Amino acid sequence: MTTRTMDCLCLVLLLTPACGDPSKPAAQDATAQDAAPVADIATIGDIVAQDAAVDASDAAHDAAPDPFGPAACDPLQPLTCALPFPSSHYLQPDAKTKTGVRVVFPPGALPSSGTGVPVDPKPWERLDGFSVAPTLVAQFAHLDIAGMADQKTIDKSVDKASPTVWLEVDAAGKVLRRIAHWVELDQRPNTEDGKIDPATRMVFVRPGVILNYGTRYVVALRKLKDSKGQVIARSPAFEALASGKTTGTSLAPRQARFDQIFQILQAEGIAKDELTLAWDFSTYSDHAIHGPVLQMRDKALAALGPTGAALTFKTFAAKKDGGTDDPHIAYTLRGTFKAPNFMKEVAADGGELRKDSAKCFRWNLDADGNLQQNGWRDAELWIRVPKSALDGTPHDYLHYGHGLNGSGNETYAGWVGPNANSRKFIYIANSMIGMSGEDGAVIIQILLNIGRFACLSERVAAGVVEHLVLARTMKLHGAAALSNALSGHTGKPVKIADTGKVFWSGNSQGGIYGQTVTALSQDITRAHVGQPGINYHMLLERSIDFDEFAAVLSGVYPKRNEYALLLGVVQMLWDHVDPVTYVRHLEVEPFANTPKHQALAVVHPGDFQVDAVTMEIAVRSGYYKLLPFYGKPVPMVPESAYPLVGSGLIAYDFGNSWFIQGNLPPAPEDGLECGDPALPHADGPCLGKKLCDPKGTFKPCKLEDPHDRAHGLKSHNDQMRHFFDTGEIKDFCGGDGCKPE
C-alpha cells in the first residue's frame, strides 16, 4: 500500500463526525430484417431466456478463436471490462424472481483492488435487475460532447435529433417514453501522474428522472465524433452485431436481442448505420429492492407490541456532554431503547469470525432468504425536553436526523433549544447505524474492499428501522415514560404531555435518509428535510465530504475507469436504503399499509456538501413540486405557486451561485467571472473568485459553504412549524425569495 494511501487512511480515522426538434428522422436501414415487426416478448425474463436459447451449434464447429475476448467482459466496450454499464449482458434467466432475471457478474467482470483482491459479486445476485437511478457509463477516445444535453439543457435529450437516446420500452418493444438525461465527461484524473487522458476518459450519462421498476430500457449513442470532428468508429463487437455477423462467436447468443434493439430504434427513426453504440438493460422489481427492508420494518414493529420499546435513562442533565447549560432546555435525557435486532456479526473478509477479525454486520437471513430477529439491541437515545413542556402543555415530538457519520448528540446544537422552547417540540434522536460515528472502522474496511459494501447498506437499513421503532415508541407511551423518569429523578411529580404526533427534521445525511425513514413510517407523516439529496453514487464525487474517502478508495482501486464503474455497481446495493428508491413512496405511491407523507425539502445554492441537482431529479420525476424563488430555471419543470399542500422543494439563498460542477466538489475559488449575465453589481453577494466592480475590473472573492445555515432562521423554523401543523408550504420570506443575507 502506498504512503499516500496510508496517510489517507489515517485521515479517515481522524475524521470528525459532521454533519421536439423539427428536423426529419434519419434515413432508415431498409433491410428485410429491420423491417420485421418487433417480437412480442412477455417479460424481461423471456427476453434473456431467448438469448440463452439461441442455437450456437455453428460455434462448436468453428475452429477459429473467438475474437471477442473473455466471456466475463462485455466486448462492446473493450477498454474496460463490464462497460457499457449497466447492461443486460449481466442478467441471467431466473423464474424465481419477479422480473424473470437475476444480476450475475461472473468472475473477472468486476474490478479487483490494486493488490489483486476481487469484488465478491454474491450480494448483487439477490437483485433481479439494475438500479432505477443508474449512471450510464461508457468510454470513447477523445469524445466531443458539445452537441449533447448538459445540466442546463436537459430538455434537448428528448429531442428526436439528440445524439444520445434513452428509451423506456414495454414488453413488446413499444417505446413508452424518452428518458430525460444529461451528459458529463469524467473530470477526475485518470493517469498515474494525476492528469486527464482524453483517450481513456469516461463519459457519464446521468438520468434526469427516476426510472420505473421492472422495466426495460434501450440506449443508443449515434454519430459520435471526437475532438477533431472525426467520426468515432464502432467497436468490432458492436459492428459484428449491427451487421449480423456473429455466427461462431461468443456474440451469437446475443444477436436476437440486438436485432430487437435495432428494430426498436428504427421505429423511433434511428437507423442502424447511425449508431456508434447501442445496448439495453432492465431495472429490478420493487420487491427485490424494498422487500427485505419492509419485512424488517413489519417484524420490528410487531415485536414492540402495544407498549413500544423499553426505555432506559442514564443521565438527565440539561447541559450537553461537557458543555454549558442551555437556557431553553429543562432536561437532556441520555439512555438507550431496546430495538429488535435483525443483524449478525460476520468477518468483513467473508471468512471465519475470529477475535482479531475485522467485523461488519449483515442481515440475519434464514435459508429461504427471510429476515429473522436476532435478539434485541441497546440503541443509543437522546431526548431534549424544553422548559415550555414543564407546565403540562402538550408538545409534538421532533425526530432529528443527524449528519454524515454523526450521532444524536447533534441535538446539542445551539439552535435546537430556542426552536424546541418557542415552537413546542420535544426533540428525540438516535444514531443512523451504518453511517454513524460508531461505524468508522467498518467504513474503512469497506473502502479497502468494495465487495464488502453490503456491510454498509444492510446496516443502514437496520438504522432506518431503529428510527421507526423509536418514533413508534414515543407515540405510544413517550409522555408517560418521560413523566415517570423525570419524577423519579427529581423526587417530585413531573407531568409531560404530548400531542401523539411525531414529525421528522433532518439535515444533510439526516435530510437524505429522512426521506427513506418518512416513506417507510406508519407514524411520521410530515418531514422537514434540510440539504437533502438522492442517489448517493452521484452525490459522492460532487461533495467535499467525500474527498478523504475518495483518496483511500482511489489508492485501493488505482485505475480510474474501474473506480468509476464501481461507484455505479455499489449504488445497486445502496438502493435498498437510498431515498432515490423511496421518494416515489412518500406521497405518490405509498407502500401498502402505509399512509401518504409530505416532505418540505430545503436546499441552498452553491452547497459544497450536497448538490441539489439530485433533488431536481426527484422534482422532474413528479415526487416534489418546485416552489417560487428557487433562483434558477430547472429544465422541464414548471414552478408551482405558494401556498402548496404536499411535498415541495424550496431554496434558501446565502449568496452563492448555482454550480454546474460535474463530478467534482465546488471549491472556495469557484464561481462566475465578469461578463456573466448572472453576475450582480460589485456590492452584491460574493459569487466567485472574480467579482466585477462598476469599471469592469476584477476584485478577489472567496465563497463560503452555506450548508446547514438555515437552522436558526426564524423564517425557516416558522415555515417548518406551519408545514407540520397544516401540511401547507407557505412563503415566510416576504414574497421575494429566501435570501437571509
User: What's the pLDDT score for residue 10?
Assistant: 44
User: What's the pLDDT score for residue 393?
Assistant: 97
Helix ranges, 428-453 (H): 440-448
Average pLDDT taken over every residue of the chain: 88
Q: Is the pLDDT of residue 204 over 90?
A: yes
User: What's the pLDDT score for residue 44?
Assistant: 60
CA distance 574 to 566: 12
Whether the Cβ atoms of residue 79 and residue 202 lie closer than 8 Å to each other: no
User: What's the pLDDT score for residue 427?
Assistant: 98
User: What's the pLDDT score for residue 584?
Assistant: 98
Is residue 12 situated within a structural domain?
no
User: What's the pLDDT score for residue 666?
Assistant: 81
User: What's the pLDDT score for residue 686?
Assistant: 43
User: What's the pLDDT score for residue 486?
Assistant: 97
Is residue 429 situated within a structural domain?
yes
Q: Is the pLDDT of residue 350 over 80?
A: no
User: What's the pLDDT score for residue 9?
Assistant: 40
User: In this structure, are 574 and 690 located in the same domain?
Assistant: no
Is residue 4 situated within a structural domain?
no
Query: Where does the pLDDT of residue 674 fall: very low under 50, low under 70, confident under 90, or very high at 90 and above?
Result: very low
CA distance 64 to 3: 47
Cell numbers placing 295: 419485512
Cell numbers placing 700: 478577489
Q: Is the pLDDT of residue 215 over 90?
A: yes
Q: In a 3-state reduction of DSSP, which class is residue 234?
A: coil
CA distance 89 to 17: 40
User: In this structure, are 435 and 577 located in the same domain?
Assistant: yes
**Greater model confidence, 602 or 18:** 602
Q: Is the pLDDT of residue 273 over 60?
A: yes
User: What's the pLDDT score for residue 704?
Assistant: 82
Q: Which helix (H) or strand (E) holds 217?
A: strand 216-222
User: In this structure, are 678 and 642 located in the same domain?
Assistant: no
Query: Where does the pLDDT of residue 43 fall: very low under 50, low under 70, confident under 90, or very high at 90 and above?
Result: low
Is residue 13 situated within a structural domain?
no
Is residue 573 situated within a structural domain?
yes
Is residue 691 situated within a structural domain?
yes
User: What's the pLDDT score for residue 209?
Assistant: 98
As beta bridge partners, residue 138 has: 203
As beta bridge partners, residue 428 has: 383, 399
User: What's the pLDDT score for residue 26?
Assistant: 36
Number of folded domains that form the chain: 3
In CATH, what number is assigned to the domain containing residue 404? Answer: 3.40.50.1820
E strands, 97-213, are 101-103, 136-139, 164-169, 175-178, 181-185, 202-207
Give residue-wise pLDDT tens across range 392-421.
999 999 999 999 999 999 999 999 999 999
Give residue-wise pLDDT tens across range 488-524.
999 999 999 999 999 999 999 999 999 999 999 999 9
CA distance 641 to 630: 12
* Mean pLDDT, range 571-592, rounded to an integer: 98
Give residue-wise pLDDT tens across range 280-304.
999 999 999 999 999 999 999 999 9
User: What's the pLDDT score for residue 585?
Assistant: 98
E strands, 240-375, are 275-282, 311-315, 329-340, 343-347, 359-363
Cis peptide before 236 (omega within 30 of 0): no
Name the residue among 303, 375, 299 with its Cα closest to residue 344.
375
User: In this structure, are 355 and 225 located in the same domain?
Assistant: no
Q: Is the pLDDT of residue 689 over 50?
A: no
User: What's the pLDDT score for residue 678?
Assistant: 44
Cell numbers placing 479: 409522555
Is residue 606 situated within a structural domain?
yes
Q: Is the pLDDT of residue 35 over 50?
A: no
User: In this structure, are 316 and 237 located in the same domain?
Assistant: no
Is residue 10 situated within a structural domain?
no
Which of 45-59, 225-239, 557-571, 638-652 has the weakest average pLDDT?
Answer: 45-59
User: In this structure, are 280 and 292 located in the same domain?
Assistant: no
Q: Is the pLDDT of residue 726 over 70?
A: yes
Phi first, then psi: give them for residue 520, nearest 5 degrees: -85, -20
User: What's the pLDDT score for residue 489?
Assistant: 95
Tell me the HSE value of 170 on the side-chain side, using a 13 A CA sphere.
6
Cell numbers placing 245: 455477423
CA distances from residue 243 to 206, 240, 407, 516 in whole angstroms, order as listed? 29, 5, 58, 47
User: What's the pLDDT score for residue 660?
Assistant: 82
User: In this structure, are 193 and 263 located in the same domain?
Assistant: yes
Give residue-wise pLDDT tens across range 123-178.
999 999 999 999 999 999 999 999 999 999 999 999 999 999 999 999 999 999 99
Query: Where does the pLDDT of residue 92 fall: very low under 50, low under 70, confident under 90, or very high at 90 and above?
Result: very high
User: In this structure, are 335 and 228 located in the same domain?
Assistant: no
As beta bridge partners, residue 185 has: 203
Please say which residue of 233, 266, 284 terminates a domain: 284
Phi first, then psi: give them for residue 155, nearest 5 degrees: -60, -25
CA distance 399 to 425: 9
User: What's the pLDDT score for residue 669?
Assistant: 54
**Greater model confidence, 374 or 359:** 374
* Mean pLDDT, range 223-242, rounded to an integer: 97
> How many percent of the chain have pLDDT more than 90?
77
User: In this structure, are 636 and 676 located in the same domain?
Assistant: no
User: What's the pLDDT score for residue 64?
Assistant: 55
Q: Is the pLDDT of residue 633 over 90?
A: yes
User: In this structure, are 531 and 584 located in the same domain?
Assistant: yes
Q: Is 523 exposed, middle or buried (0-12, 13-18, 19+ CB in 10 A)?
A: buried
Quote the domain boundaries for residue 29.
20-284
CA distance 610 to 602: 11
Query: Where does the pLDDT of residue 629 fall: very low under 50, low under 70, confident under 90, or very high at 90 and above?
Result: very high
> How many percent of the chain have pLDDT more than 70?
84
* Mean pLDDT, range 425-442, rounded to an integer: 95
Whether the Cβ atoms of residue 562 and residue 492 lie closer than 8 Å to each other: no
Q: Which helix (H) or strand (E) holds 700?
A: strand 698-700
pTM equals 0.89
Other CB atoms within 10 Å distance of the CB of residue 273: 12
User: In this structure, are 183 and 139 located in the same domain?
Assistant: yes
- Chain center to CA of 422: 35
User: In this structure, are 277 and 293 located in the same domain?
Assistant: no
Q: Does residue 146 come out as left (phi exceeding 0), alpha (psi in the -120 to 50 range) or beta?
A: alpha
